[in-house]
Chain A
Amino acid sequence: AQSVTQLGSHVSVSEGALVLLRCNYSSSVPPYLFWYVQYPNQGLQLLLKYTSAATLVKGINGFEAEFKKSETSFHLTKPSAHMSDAAEYFCAVKSTGGGNKLTFGTGTQLKVEL
């Protein structure tokens, strides 16, 4: 079985501040992990993915995430928030034990304030 937990359904940061969105996973086999972003009234867009090649993954729009097996975490960070980063962010896991199906976390709504 595979699952994802996102701590904090709402996160608010000031423009220019560090963004940290938390994601912990559970998987009985090595996981593949993804972060997606959903802007209002739009579908999901891939930000980045972990596929075991490197533990620190860089994605689009300045986001990155670090896979930490010992902590079963895949937190998403961005050094400096921009107003355009306001959106909902979903962490998702896929593993060979779960077929080719993505299991999503509950999402984190990021608000960026001036």
Chain B
Amino acid sequence: SAVISQKPSRDICQRGTSLTIQCQVDSQVTMMFWYRQQPGQSLTLIATANQGSEATYESGFVIDKFPISRPNLTFSTLTVSNMSPEDSSIYLCSALPTGTGWNTEAFFGQGTRLTVV
């Protein structure tokens, strides 16, 4: 299994500003994912981040709003840019261990609870 640490665990931000969320995995992983969990709702995939390539964004999410970095096999960042109150959510980092098959489960960080005021 993999242990994933996310920072910050929570933050309150002013609208119009940006926040960068860090995700650190204790082992090398091939694929990392960023999810958004809006209040009272399920998890929605924002993007998939593979090391050495551009992140792949899901429909409804764009790089200008959610730029992602993946500099190595253990780390990724998600930036929420030009925030508005609608961006208030929990943001979760997830990872798939390297060399695993389709039946392998993803591991999750503790999440970052973002409130935009």
Interface residues of B in 57-95 (CB under 8 A from A): 92, 94
Contact A107 B42 (CB under 8 A): yes
Q: What secondary structure prevails in chain B residues at the interface with A?
A: strand
Q: Known interface pairs A101-B45, A102-B45, A107-B42. Does A42 touch B106 (Cβ–Cβ under 8 Å)?
A: no
Interface residues of B in 25-49 (CB under 8 A from A): 31, 33, 41-45, 48
Q: Chain B interface: which of A17-25, A46-54, A66-74?
A: A46-54
With a cutoff of 8 Å between Cβ atoms, the chain A residues found around residue B109 in the complex are 43
Closest to B107 in A: A46
Least distance between A1 CB and chain B CB atoms (Å):
12
Contact A104 B42 (CB under 8 A): yes
Bin chain A's interface residue count: 20 to 34
A residues near B (Cβ < 8 Å) are 32, 34, 36, 41-46, 49, 51-52, 90, 94-96, 99-107
Contact A100 B43 (CB under 8 A): no
Q: Known interface pairs A32-B103, A46-B105, A101-B48. Does A106 touch B42 (Cβ–Cβ under 8 Å)?
A: yes
Cβ contacts A to B, 9 pairs, < 8 Å: A43-B108, A45-B108, A46-B107, A52-B103, A100-B48, A100-B96, A101-B45, A101-B48, A106-B41
Contact A100 B31 (CB under 8 A): yes
Least distance between B2 CB and chain A CB atoms (Å):
11
Q: Report which of B33, B43, B105, B113 forms a contact with A49, defined as CB distance below 8 A.
A: B105
With a cutoff of 8 Å between Cβ atoms, the chain B residues found around residue A52 in the complex are 103
Contact B111 A34 (CB under 8 A): no
